């Protein structure tokens, strides 16, 4: 059978893309291939479940616009499909004079991004969050929480009800483009499609190279390790508690996150992973390590960020160091409060010159579009990202 569209990848970006294709082209034939036995099992299912507001991103940037639109679209999708979410708000807490200065800059950025943000004094912070200590904070009331796994499963149901076909447990082994179609092959099976969209996340560079494309980057897995607080600490915070981010570092830092099931997690840190899809602590996949070990951009990135890399690794190996980061703004936490919780792995595209890719990265041909990098907050922004993909594939 010749399908109109094939989507590879059952994470939230691939699912949103398939869903929007079927909505915009009613009656089209669509096949979605996912190598796992369920939907949203990698980056989508291992994040902190936050519906971000878009405070961090450069004013006027694509990420800022997509996040703002995505937050609203995600909440509307959840409301329409009976998915629980909570607009609990977020506090970004400053604990030093330097962070207070950074907070002022972040407040100004939020105004340019049209995000509703309020300055909170130390006294007002203590009133809102008795267990949190800080010199001041920014309150972002529109930030929310959701189970993105539930969002993925709802998208999957909508795809199937609109006539789309989802094939789980199907790992793509070959992609071959011809003038009129693309052939996608798995073990013992193959399919043809007029257009192919690849949203492969942690495997995106490999799928692009499999299709014969030249890529100047590699996916480096950054492991984000979380802890879960005991049930007795489920009310330790009323909002999400984030640090004021260091603008020189690529990640947001360790934060306290209320989850939609009522629990609270602490994390994540950011350390180099030794497996793209290995979530247990000692996971090692030699192929994954060799992929970045022989890529010059990886070593340039490590050299450029060696100070933070050493700090993150130390805190990963030394639980008390991790606790120290948490106690900067939540001093009541104890070592015994940090209970095991499954890690997440972020697909970080790194260019040959060592630059971390923070924006969207696409590679395309006449009949293929590969999403090589869909940066955080891709889960929040999935629906408008899908619309952007549709403009490219249908235009």
Convert the pLDDT of each residue in 155-170 to its tens digit: 999 999 999 999 999 9
Flag whether pLDDT at 250 surpasses 70.
no
- Cα 155 from Cα 74, distance rounded (Å): 11
Flag whether pLDDT at 313 surpasses 80.
no
pLDDT given at position 375: 84
Provide the percentage of residues in the chain whose pLDDT is more than 90.
78
Flag whether pLDDT at 199 surpasses 90.
yes
| Mean per-residue pLDDT, 28-49 | 95
- Cα 30 from Cα 28, distance rounded (Å): 6
Please, which pLDDT band fits residue 299 given cuts at 50, 70 and 90?
A: very high
pLDDT given at position 249: 67
Torsion, Cα of 357, 205, 176, 389 (10° steps): -40
Tokens of 212: 């014969």
∠ Cα 72 163 17 (to 5°): 35
Query: Is residue 343 within 8 Å of residue 258, measured between CB atoms?
Result: no
pLDDT given at position 54: 87
78-92, 154-168, 225-239, 298-312: range with lowest mean pLDDT:
298-312
- Cα 267 from Cα 262, distance rounded (Å): 16
Query: Is residue 385 within 8 Å of residue 393, measured between CB atoms?
Result: no
- Cα 67 from Cα 383, distance rounded (Å): 10
- Burial letters for 326-352: b for 16+ Cβ neighbours within 10 Å, e otherwise? bebbbeebeeebbeebebbbbbbbbbe
Whole-number mean pLDDT of the chain? 93
pLDDT tens, position by position, 171-186 = 999 999 999 999 999 9
Nearest CA-CA partner of 44 in 341, 374, 387, 370: 374
Question: Could you count the other beta carbons within 10 Å of the beta carbon of residue 128?
Answer: 16
Question: Could you count the other beta carbons within 10 Å of the beta carbon of residue 310?
Answer: 11
Query: Is residue 352 within 8 Å of residue 297, measured between CB atoms?
Result: yes
């Amino acid at each position: 059978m010749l399908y109109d569209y094939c989507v590879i990848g059952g994470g939230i970006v691939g699912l949103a893309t398939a869903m929007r294709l079927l909505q915009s082209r009613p009656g089209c034939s669509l096949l979605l291939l996912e190598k796992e036995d369920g939907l949203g099992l990698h980056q989508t299912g291992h994040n902190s479940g936050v519906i971000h507001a878009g405070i961090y991103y450069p004013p006027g940037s694509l990420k800022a616009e997509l996040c703002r639109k995505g937050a609203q679209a995600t909440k509307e999708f959840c409301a329409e499909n009976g998915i629980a979410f909570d607009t609990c708000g977020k506090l970004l807490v400053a604990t030093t004079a330097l962070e207070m200065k950074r907070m002022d800059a972040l407040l100004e950025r939020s105004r340019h991004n049209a995000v509703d943000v309020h300055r909170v004094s130390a006294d007002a912070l203590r009133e809102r969050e008795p267990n949190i200590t800080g010199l001041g904070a920014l309150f972002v009331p529109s930030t929310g929480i959701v189970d993105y796994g539930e969002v993925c499963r709802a998208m999957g149901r909508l795809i199937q009800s609109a006539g789309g076909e989802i094939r789980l447990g199907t790992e793509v082994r070959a992609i071959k483009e011809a003038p009129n179609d693309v052939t996608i092959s798995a073990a013992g099976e193959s399919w043809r499609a007029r257009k192919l969209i690849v949203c492969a996340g942690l495997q995106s560079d490999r799928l692009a190279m499999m299709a014969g494309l030249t890529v100047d980057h590699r996916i480096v897995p950054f492991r984000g390790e979380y802890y879960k607080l005991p049930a007795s600490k489920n009310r330790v915070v009323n909002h999400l508690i984030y640090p004021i981010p260091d603008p020189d570092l690529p990640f947001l830092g360790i934060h306290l996150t209320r989850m939609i099931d009522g629990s609270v997690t602490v994390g994540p840190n950011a350390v180099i992973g030794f497996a793209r899809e290995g979530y247990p602590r000692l996971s090692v996949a030699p192929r994954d390590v060799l992929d970045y070990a022989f890529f010059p951009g990886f070593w340039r990135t490590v050299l450029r960020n060696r100070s933070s890399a050493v700090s993150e690794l130390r805190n990963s190996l030394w639980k008390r160091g991790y606790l120290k980061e948490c106690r900067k703004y939540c001093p009541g936490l104890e070592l015994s409060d940090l209970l095991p919780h499954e890690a997440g792995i972020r697909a970080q595209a790194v260019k040959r010159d060592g630059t971390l890719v923070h924006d969207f990265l696409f590679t395309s041909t006449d009949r293929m579009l590969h999403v090589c990098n869909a940066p955080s907050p891709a889960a929040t922004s999935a629906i408008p990202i899908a619309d952007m993909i549709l403009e490219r594939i249908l235009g």
